[in-house]
Structure 1
């Protein structure tokens, strides 16, 4: 499983602007003496790298949380394989989707999302039903899970069957694989029922490729934005934030940089996001137009103003003042002191 963060603790302002920041200070010597005798012995941005490294580490799921989510995935898949295929496999006919597939999950853990692929015989059986076939299908999947987990809160609401557990939920999407590569039908219960075409693995591809061409910055930005979404109750779906992060990063001037530039990355993203109010993103694979509205715009404007102020504090090494502003955006996961 891909790592969500890497160790990045180089300090003394990235060994005196090793990552640029536009102006290279003049070193009076070489090696450690040169750093000590530099024209700027206390360089600006002294706390940025440590702060954002710690922030992203704080968003990592613990080993116990990862193990818990994996165990729940396996238990649900084993139950459904027993019901529909007569085996106890905890991995066949299923795969992660959402943040667990994209490696964009954060702590505290949210839902574990998965697709479970049903046999074509199940489609044929329900196709003979009168009324809402898709609702009947979801109720059957719900019943099979309820039999195995009688004390859990199991709900069926197309296209998802929600298995509510004590620590976090598992959202199961029953699906039928189509002949076209990695294309699936999932049940939709609204308006009398229908099937909709989905391409969830194309979403994973978009994140993976964007992260690769942008120095690993896309996933890190997404994880920080999810923290903002949670802390400030931002009315913008995580899926939309992911696609917006990809779009932003592909045009950001410093996309090849890393942690030393993350104060500017946050500042520039929020300023850019404001310009996207009332626009749309395209769903990978299906190219469905997804309108993102503008209910979230005021909170983006507030975050933009605070990030601008925090960047000024970071430049002047006002560690606590910068930390205060970042915490107003992201909460306590981003440290005030580093």
Structure 2
């Protein structure tokens, strides 16, 4: 009786508010405009901004700690840094950081491997400078191991999530947010983008993927079962074909969550809704309700 109401309320609680959406996007646009002004001496009507990561895929969970953006730079900037020696990628990030410090002198800021992090009070804007490549791909800096340029294709990941979510009546993004809540609550050592891709992979072939909230207890249980089966395997990143090793550090937490989900599903079947709710809270924390109408 309680499954539909419980998981609908849980999903709604994970969605960002309009104010949070406007705040994150507004700060991202302003940071991009400040970089435009610093590099071009003017601000265009359409800032060279790509919102990527969970915000680009619309899988962010409330409250969102950060928003990832790619800011497109002219090829002349790339040529200028390619003419240098040393870790040119680090030098680019440091230059971007310096310009942003001029615009936000009271804001905490640091460069971190591939991004410049602008830490506002309400959200951190993670800035990735990129350069256009043919076919919708981009070149981005990676300061690790002495520095290198990395090819990325954010549009391919976004398109894949959008396609599978559309085919599953919005269930793919909803389940992704729930499993990210599990990651946050239990400190699961899986990166958010890996969870996004694994949920999409699972939902693309799941027999109940088009059902409504009434099936969400099974969604969670069956995804965790599939996740346990993916230990010590790999994952291809859409667009670039980069191979990501999943490892198994997260496996004990996935197995523990699966055992709880199996028990919770049985309590839901028997209509012991309060007991089921208590079990779900051991996975997701207090954000999923125990008592439902």
What band does the TM-score fall into relative to the shorter chain? Answer: over 0.9
Does residue 124 of the first structure (1) align with residue 79 of the second (2)?
Answer: yes
Flag the structure with larger Rg. 1
2:100 corresponding residue in structure 1? 145
Does residue 189 of the first structure (1) align with residue 189 of the second (2)?
Answer: no
1:273 Cα shift? 0.9
Q: 1:262 to 1:329 in 2, by over 3 A?
A: same
1:216 Cα shift? 1.6
Which of residues 220, 243, 248 is equivalent to 2:174? 220
How far apart, CA to CA, are the structure 1 residues paired with 2:121 and 2:224?
35
Which of residues 33, 52, 64 is equivalent to 1:78? 33
How far apart, CA to CA, are the structure 2 residues paired with 1:304 and 1:189?
38
Q: 1:202 to 1:218 in 2, by over 3 A?
A: same
1:146 Cα shift? 0.5
1:159 Cα shift? 1.5
1:91 Cα shift? 4.3
Which structure's residues are more often helix, by fraction? Answer: 2
Does residue 98 of the first structure (1) align with residue 67 of the second (2)?
Answer: no
2:118 corresponding residue in structure 1? 163
Structure 2 residue ranges without an equivalent (≥5): none
Does the CA-based 8 Å contact 1:146-1:152 persist in structure 2? yes
1:191 Cα shift? 2.4
Does residue 66 of the first structure (1) align with residue 21 of the second (2)?
Answer: yes
Q: How many residues align?
A: 292
CA-atom RMSD, angstroms?
A: 1.1
Does the CA-based 8 Å contact 2:54-2:193 persist in structure 1? no
* Structure 2 counterparts to residues 1-338 of structure 1, below 5 A: 46-89=1-44, 91-178=46-133, 180-338=134-292
What is the TM-score when the length of structure 2 is the normalising length? 0.97
Does the CA-based 8 Å contact 2:29-2:49 persist in structure 1? no
1:109 counterpart SS class: coil
1:90 Cα shift? 7.2
Q: Name which of structure 1's ranges 82-91 and 259-268 shifts more when overlaid on structure 2.
A: 82-91
1:200 Cα shift? 1.0
What is the TM-score when the length of structure 1 is the normalising length? 0.84
